[in-house]
Chain A
């Protein structure tokens, strides 16, 4: 069996095993659906509540996407600014770290007080997602081959030429790694903020559905929403990995296929 077939076949087999066991356990012990619904029930709920859950998914995904976009712009922009001016870096970097190390769950309620709910959720998605972009891009911008910098200096490149033709392309692999982390994190940020908003919020995101279903003991719907969330996370991860691969496949070690 080829390596590729194993890599796809084995996880699928694992999934099938888990689902069958889950189903058998639910049947054998006659577990009521409000404790643990069977996989079949989760699936049928997913289909029955499809319209509602789909709407919620779109809300959460929109927040995630906007948060990610702002994180990308903010993270890369700030990293570039840091690389241009040490004074700015020294002034702002500690606060970027503080923003990162303070648990988002603790910040979310505060943001919900000061900001309208959609904006607060967006802010949470942004806060969690922007730091990996900033940190990775900063690392990339700082690891440019010093001989190439000397070469640009020799040919009297302007600051702009140095940034555009050398530093940014050179930092691209780290930047993309940061973005890949940020994609998953902005989803987490959005979900955390929606949960924090909870019943108080007028939101309708997927996390809000989960919280709401929890209060109503609608456990099958909780599972269905959770399934959708994790599928969304997987889709985001693969989309960003594909983007990274496309951008680096011609030249970077991480993306180049080697023949042995």
Chain B
């Protein structure tokens, strides 16, 4: 299952020290291959969001380097889903999803089609004219995902996107995200602090230790896709979760 495509992005000994003196990342190295689903797992404050922002180009590393081996220039090929839906409240769903295309001065007709397609993918085709305040939390997140997909990005970065949702909605969105990933075969880097979510979704989990944030261990989850509710309740799943949780415990024990 783990189709070893070429590397899409490599972080080499990346460090990030904020002006306040806080060391968010130190000697952080990560290779992500094309088509992979990788999770960054760790407690809050371990620098996983910082790593994601550095990959997105929203934050500059204070040390180390980011390499984009393929032709995948970072520009326009990255979709980002924030922790909050981060929608423009004054614009309806369609306008929110169209935003990246509008900023890129994309062709009107083409972008309309792209928006419709993105909305269909996340199951919101009927809500194109709704305003964000009229949507539930899960639907807002779907809109946010549709917006990230609108530009057909090579790499999808997700920063604890479902952390604020209730469990039922989160499970549903987990399933839909996996279905999308299998259909589109984009690379996904998913930041989470949930052991269960990371095991359910990813091919590979990168465990991080806090202060300063660095990679403690990598664990592959070789369970086959498609994964569904049966996988969520299987003994295999429970086993992986225990393994990841134990490693996470060691990671936390290592840091005071």
Contacts and interface: CB of A to CB of B under 8 A. Distances in A.
Given A169-B88, A250-B131, A147 B57 contact: no
Contact of B103 (A157, A172, A253): A157
Contact of B102 (A153, A165, A256): A165
A26 B58 CA distance: 74
B103 A147 contact: no
Contacts of A157: 103
B6 interface: no
A20 to B, nearest CB: 47
Contact of B88 (A148, A153, A256): A148
B86 interface: yes
A154 interface: yes
B86 A152 contact: no
Contacts of B240: none
Mostly helix, strand, loop or mixed at chain A's interface?
helix
B103 A165 contact: yes
Interface string B84-125: 101011110000000110111000000000000000000000
Interface residues of A, number: 22
Given A152-B103, A155-B99, A156-B75, A251 B58 contact: no
Contact size range, B: 20 to 34
Contacts of A107: none
Given A154-B58, A251-B133, A169 B90 contact: yes
Interface in A105-159: 145, 147-148, 150-157
Contact of A172 (B58, B82, B90, B99): B90
Contacts of B90: 169-170, 172, 250-252
A166 B87 CA distance: 11
A199 interface: no
A148 B89 CA distance: 11
A161 interface: yes
Contacts of A251: 89-90, 131-133
5 contacts: A148-B86, A152-B103, A154-B57, A155-B104, A251-B89
Interface of B: 53, 56-58, 75-76, 78, 80, 82-84, 86, 88-91, 99-100, 102-104, 131-133, 151
